[in-house]
Chains A and B, each alone.
Chain A
Amino acid sequence: MGATGIIFRRELRAYLRSPMGYIVAAVVLLLDGVLFYAVALGPNAGQLLSGEALRGFFYNASGMTAVAAVALSIRLIAEDRQTGTLLLLETSPVKDWEIVLGKFLSALAFLWGITLATAYIPLLLLVNGKIALGHILVGYLGMLFLGGAVLAIGLFATALTRHQLVAAAVASVITGSMFLFSTLARVVGAPLAFVLDALTLHDHRWTGFGSGVLNLSDAFYYAAVAYFFLYAATRVMELKRWE
């Protein structure tokens, strides 16, 4: 097993042993359930088609996935820097990108676990309504892509500082800004509007996944965002050795 795998296993176990992981999971599952009830089962019961209810669920759940991704990522490197355990990794024969990738994959696996635990909701719709299984699969695939992109942003933020609150603030500002890029694009002129619209992290990037339509360009965009921020996190770690 390579260094990435060793770090992945350690970090995943840390999530499974820490109260933080379970708190994030509990909050996400609770809010996803409450929001689904409010959209599809409460006063609006029977008014939405199954497909519309599923689209609404994915829309809300994608936001929760982004919030969970920020919450899960902020400890990844900042905590190690704060407690001194990063020195163990930095003075071992391990490359910086292996540290970053191992930590990223562990957070992604835990996030996937939380996200997949919401599967009972679309399965309820599948049993009681009329929806395509592909719609469910594409919606979850979209959440995994979006979650990965936001996790990478959080990982970059956590590489910058030893303070988890600062990392949370930086990750929230970057993620929030990228969520709002499409809104900003409507009030600024070209060519900035085009750039902002192309870089938006949600809105039209999410519409396809939420509707059960897999656009490879959207999937590629999320993968590119994840790659960019993971690369940036690796560079930050290298540069900090030169500080």
Chain B
Amino acid sequence: MVQLTEVTKYYGPKRALGPVSCEIGKGDTVGFLGLNGVGKTTLLRILACGLRPSSGRVEIDGFDVLRSPHEVRKRVGYLPETPPVYRDMTVRDYLAFAGRIKGMTAEAIARRVPEVEARTRISEVSDMPTGHLSEGFRQRVGVAQAIVHEPELLILDEPTHDLDPVQIVEMRRMIRSLKDSHTILISSHILPEISQTCDRLLILDDGEIVATGTEEELSGTLVRTRRMTVTIRLGGSDGTDRTSADAEAAIRGVTGVTRTEVADGGGDGAVTFEVEGEEDLRGAVCRALVEGGHEVIALARSERGLERVFVDLVGGERS
């Protein structure tokens, strides 16, 4: 569906993007993850034919963005970071305008606009000027204009930008509901946005793709260290006086453990340790603690693997 070959973009002498090469298949939902200013928006605007690359080749559904921009634009729906809404127009008029400008017939618009309003849950504000809407509704109107002409490729640049937590959850739900009918590209600098909605991730840093894969692939291949948290009740399981230091020593005694530290200091009669090892040591650590007379009340594999990948890849040098 999308093929990028050695794509670069320069603003004057400054390189904003590339060289970037990647391929995205039909029906994929792909997240572009990176800190602010690493080239995500530039890349998405090139894909949406709103910006020309300085070099390289970009093809959408077999059409080159430079040679056949109109064919590409017919197949792409684009939601920029700020929804491109005319604040003096009502939602219905705006969506009809967006449909017309994207080449839809009057009949298709009459059929499609109510459908899109229902799908993005904006029917109730259909007659209101977009300038009177909340950020959440305006963002949904932005999604509606992006899908009104039934594009094969949907590009969403920071779709949860400026939304409150409830609106973020609704937006995620809406994006997931669109996955069955579109190839979707989403950009964000917020990890959960990407990991909760996308099948595949592309991590960008300094204008280049530094890692790509599913969440499991990235966590598995790039994070050699396995993390877990283990919580014990102070005092021990046999009435004897077991201390936090005893438990820490027991954990350190397990073969394969490379690091352990107290994550939560035990103010409520329990203490939580964060443990790292080169393999999954949950069983061994649990056994060692129980054999040492400690009462284990919680044991879990750390779910911060992807976050760690992200920080290692793009945040490490800056911190």
Contact = CB atoms under 8 A, between A and B. Distances in A.
Contacts of B101: 3, 6-7, 88-89, 92, 94
Contacts of B70: 93
Contact of A88 (B52, B84, B87, B88): B84
Contact of A93 (B11, B50, B74): B74
A213 to B, nearest CB: 42
Interface stretch (B75-83, B212-220, B223-231): B75-83
B76 A91 contact: yes
A14 B87 CA distance: 10
B86 A91 contact: no
Interface in B83-140: 83-89, 97-98, 100-103
A120 B160 CA distance: 55
B84 A84 contact: yes
B97 A241 contact: no
Contacts of A91: 45, 48-50, 73, 76, 78
Given A3-B101, A6-B100, A92-B101, A87 B74 contact: no
Interface string B286-301: 0000000000000000
B51 interface: yes
A88 B145 contact: yes
B98 A88 contact: yes
Contacts of A1: 100
Interface in A77-122: 83-94
Where chain A touches its partner, the secondary structure class is helix
B102 A93 contact: yes
A17 B73 contact: no
A89 B78 CA distance: 11
A14 to B, nearest CB: 6
B158 to A, nearest CB: 12
Contacts of B84: 83-88
Interface in A52-73: none
Given A6-B97, A91-B78, A85 B85 contact: yes
A217 interface: no
B83 A10 contact: no
30 contacts: A6-B100, A6-B101, A7-B101, A10-B89, A10-B97, A13-B88, A17-B88, A18-B88, A83-B84, A84-B80, A84-B83, A86-B84, A87-B45, A87-B50, A87-B78, A88-B84, A89-B101, A90-B49, A90-B50, A91-B45, A91-B49, A92-B98, A92-B101, A92-B102, A93-B69, A93-B102, A93-B103, A94-B101, A241-B51, A242-B52
Interface of B: 11, 45, 48-52, 54, 69-70, 73-74, 76, 78, 80, 82-89, 97-98, 100-103, 145
Given A83-B84, A87-B84, 14 more contacts: A3-B101, A6-B97, A10-B86, A10-B89, A14-B88, A17-B88, A18-B88, A86-B84, A90-B49, A91-B49, A92-B98, A93-B69, A93-B102, A242-B52
Interface of A: 1, 3, 6-7, 10, 13-14, 17-18, 83-94, 241-243
